[in-house]
Each structure stands twice: as structure tokens, then as C-alpha cells.
Amino acid sequence: MIAVAYIGREPMDAVSIGNRGLNYGDGVFETMRVHRGVLPLWPRHLARLREGAGRLGIAMPDVGVMEARIAELMAGADAGVLKLLLTRGEGGRGYAPPLDAVPTWMLSLLPLPAPQGALRLHACETRLAMQPALAGIKHCNRLEQVLGRAEAERAGCDEGLMRDMVGNPVCATSANLLVLRDGRWTTPPVDLCGVAGVLRGWLLDQGLVALASLSMDDVESAQALALCNAVRGILPVRALGAREWPTHPAVADLQKRLAMATPMFSEARETA
Amino acid sequence: MIAVAYIGREPMDAVSIGNRGLNYGDGVFETMRVHRGVLPLWPRHLARLREGAGRLGIAMPDVGVMEARIAELMAGADAGVLKLLLTRGEGGRGYAPPLDAVPTWMLSLLPLPAPQGALRLHACETRLAMQPALAGIKHCNRLEQVLGRAEAERAGCDEGLMRDMVGNPVCATSANLLVLRDGRWTTPPVDLCGVAGVLRGWLLDQGLVALASLSMDDVESAQALALCNAVRGILPVRALGAREWPTHPAVADLQKRLAMATPMFSEARETA
């Protein structure tokens, strides 16, 4: 991993103990796929970063400077994952956010994860709390996802399906959920909990997927399930607990449509 | 502020960008009052730290080493605040916690906050999400408190009263709530949201305060309100929004009982 932190424009080796990200998870982040030295989905990631920073009242760093440092870091990288982490910075009296905080932001370049076959999901016992003030944005308060993912690992599964407090499915720990019903792809809303994934947003905007509130019965009786995120693209699901699904052509069709628009995902499709 | 971080037993100057505390708020903390070179409430803070680490599956550092470093840091400090922050450490694939993570823990010594008079509370619009998996422990996912405290500051108030999603009062952003009704002190449960404060625990154990689920009407019609935390002791409340309370002798009585058992709080009482 190559990593660098900035306070304003100044590069730093590491992060101070007083950083509010470390103390309170007081920040937002983006995890983005690098393809041939660029970030094809950058405008959508930047929009979500702005939205998250705005809702939390965190100042946005100079975007030009940020883009220049990102370009330097990923120059020559054919493929990889670029993580951008933005925290409110330091200071303040306890939880009270300082009005003049200089945000701290960090970049790290990581290898692209190995391609995976169809996924086995675990239905997590850890539920997502309903919090409209934080829903949708990719903030750094992620203990629910950490607990959910730990459950999935203990169950020997690839990912965890997370439900809200009512018991309705919302998303996976690090991907959104796509559910094929009556030949149409749907995805649950994320206005009370969950993250509005960048690839989910693209699929909704293209009309390839529609919003739908779903029950666990709806998911278990679906024709097919898939997960999506901006690093791995569209991933077929082969099992949720004891329920198994054979390969469904609608998954390959969705992968093909995505690959046509965003070629970086064509490789993932071939290896999936 | 004097601050130091440890990975296992090794002292570090700062924290790596890959620390899970920074990335996910994957940690717990304690904020403790130093009095004449010791931490009078340490056994209760340590118990809550263990409880939080246990519930999150974070390994506890060697307590003997931790206590020795704490003793060194606060040697000669007549008064102050010692913050202990414990994160899961580094590594893991995304949210998945590594099974062999070496926890990172940090100590910082800060000045004791200035004494305050009776407090003015703001009823925060930001609600506390109901999450039994995280309720009670002092974990590092604190965006709700950051947003609530920012609201209180904007309203020109000293603290924010936080309600759950149903609208029932739970606690302040960094203190528990004490409500005097029919001559008895009560405090709301924290099994769905909120933090089980160390001083709140002491007051409950002494039988000086009883658990009670309360509505906003109950709070607004109370004989007196107070807040409590392990740094400031018991703080009288003079207003919640437009509702004001005169000084009530039950507050001074509770402060006196606390000061008799834990002399470090006697000064706070006199200056309050």
C-alpha cells in the first residue's frame, strides 16, 4: 500500500492522535477503481464525497489540489483501488466540531482485489440502525459493517446481507443488493440506513435497476441476486444461507451493459 | 496536550493511515478525570473498556503495561483529563476484522475543563439511532454526538439533549441525563442507544438514581434536571429550550453525596 496524508495542502507521514477521524469516525471516504491511470467513476465519487462532507459540515479540500495528488499517485497504475479518506481534521472541545477546522485527507493506493466467483451470502444478525441523518453517505462510522462482516467470515461466507431493524434487507456490508423479481432488477432504498453506492447510482440512472422496498421473503423468492460496488462491478450471488440460485442470464446481461459503458468492468465479468 | 500511541507495547509518534480507528471508528475510548496523580474511577472505566472491546471483538492490551504507561503520563498531575483510545489496530480486508490484529492504543493528557455554571440545554433535532449491538459502550462511532453537539453550539447552548427515534430523551452528547420526579432522581435506560456513563453507573449502584423510561413531557415537567459525567461530576441544568428551572436543593444534595465518596468532585461542586 502506498499512502499519504494531507492537512490542507501539506503532506504528512501519519495522522495525529487528535484527529477527529480517529477519535469519532468524523469523516467520509471513497473507495475507487483505478483503470489505466484514471478513475472512470470519479465524478460520481466526488459528488458523493461532497454530499457527505456537506451533510456533516466538513469543509471540502481544494478539489484541484486533491485531483492533482490523486493523478500523481495513480500515474502508471494499470489497475488498483484508490481510497480517499477525508476527516474534519483536529481540535474542538470534545464532540463540538471546530468551525475553523482544516480537514485532513488521505490517499492510499491498494492492489485490485482478486476476481471472485459467485458469492455466498450470510444473513447477518447485526442489523442496520435507522438514522436518516447519516443514511446514504459513506461516512466513517462503520462498526455495524465491521460486526456484520465478521459474522460473514465466521460463517465461511463471502459477504454479509444486512437488514434494517424491521428485518428488511438493505445491502451487503460493502456492496449494494440487486434483486431480480418478475424479470426486473430492483434495489432497496437507502434513505434510513445503508450507503448509496456509486455503481448503484449509475444503474438507477440508466434505468437498469429500480428502487423497491423488499422483505426477506422477496429476496429469498427472487429469480436471482447480485451485489454491486464501484470496485468489483456486478457480482452474482449463488447462495444466501441455505437458499441457492443457479446462474441466471440476467446477471450476465447486466454485467455486459455495464462493461459496454465502463470498460474497466469487462475484465471482472470475464473472470467472475 | 501530551499524547502517545502504542502498538502492543511499542510507543509510536502518530497513527498510521491504515489504522481501523481512523477508517471505520473501529475502537473504544475512555475519558477519565485525574486527581492528585491517580484516576479514582479507573476500575469502572477499565470495566467499561473491557466490555466494549469484548462486544466488538477487539483484543485488550496488557492491562499491566497500560496502567504503567498511564501512571507515568499522569505522574505529578494534580488535575486533568486522561483519554485512553483503543482501536482494533491495522489490517483486514476492508471491513473484515483481522483475527490477529495487534490493537493500537493511545493516551493523551489534557487540562481539566473550566468549571461551568448551571447549563442551558438544546433539544437536538439529530436523534440517536436504536442499535442494541452498540448501545451502552463508549465506541468511536460518534457522528450522532458530533452533529448533536454542533446543533447545541449553533443554538448558543452548553449541551444538547439527545432523543431516540421515538422522541424519548436518552442523554446529552457527552453526559448522562438525571431527571428529578416526585423527589426521586431517575435516568433513562441505554440499552438501545446512548452510553452507560461511569458516573451514572456509580449513582445507580449507590441507589441514588433509578432507571426510568421517560418522555419529553416527563423531562419538561421534572422538578429539576442535571447531567453527569466522569470528568465534570454532576452539573445542574437551568434551561431546556424555553423551559427554565430555578436552583433545586436536590442537585446540591446529590453533588454532596458524590463529593463525600469521591473527593475530586468536591471542587466542581463549589465552583458550579
Mind listing the pLDDT tens digit for each residue in B79-121? 999 999 999 999 877 999 998 899 999 999 999 999 889 999 9
Query: What are the structural domains, with CATH classification, of chain A?
Result: 2-110 (3.30.470.10), 119-271 (3.20.10.10)
Contact A130, A167 (CB under 8 A): no
Contact B141 A146 (CB under 8 A): no
Q: Give the number of other CB atoms < 10 A from CB of residue A260.
A: 10
ipTM of the prediction: 0.94
Q: Which of A81, A141, A158, A170 to mutate to test the interface with B (most CBs of B within 10 A)?
A: A141
Placement of cell 492528585 in the chain: B36
CB contact under 8 A, A3 and B23: no
> Is the CB of B23 less than 8 angstroms away from the CB of A140?
yes
C-beta separation of B137 from B174 below 8 A: no
Which of B2, B19, B20, B95 would you mutate first to test chain A, the one with the most A CBs within 10 A? B95
Q: What is the pLDDT of residue A1?
A: 67
Work out the number of other CB atoms within 10 angstroms of the CB of residue B65: 13
Q: Do A133 and B113 touch (CB under 8 A)?
A: no
The whole-number average pLDDT for the span B138-145 is 98
Q: E strand or H helix at B43, and its extent? A: helix B42-56
Structure confidence at residue A270 (pLDDT): 43
- List CB contacts of B107: < 8 A, sequence separation 6 or more: B3, B4, B6, B69, B70, B73, B82, B83, B84, B85
Determine the pLDDT at residue A15: 87
CA A20 to chain centre: 21
The separation between the first and the last C-alpha atoms of chain A, rounded to the nearest angstrom, is 25
Cβ contact A142–B141 (<8 Å):
yes
A97 closest CB neighbour out of B3, B106, B150: B150
Q: Which of B15, B69, B143 to mutate to test the interface with A (most CBs of A within 10 A)?
A: B143
**Mean pLDDT score, B17-33:** 96
Residues of B in contact with A87 (CB under 8 A): 22
Taking CB atoms and an 8 Å limit, are A150 and B14 in contact across chains? no
A162 and A175 in contact (C-beta within 8 Å)?
Answer: no
pTM beyond 0.90, yes or no = yes
The mean per-residue pLDDT over the stretch A74-83 comes to: 94
Chain A neighbors of B130, CB-CB under 8 A: 129-130, 165
**β-strands A233-240, A119-123: how paired?**
parallel
Query: Are residues A173 and A160 in contact, defined by beta-carbon separation less than 8 angstroms?
Result: yes
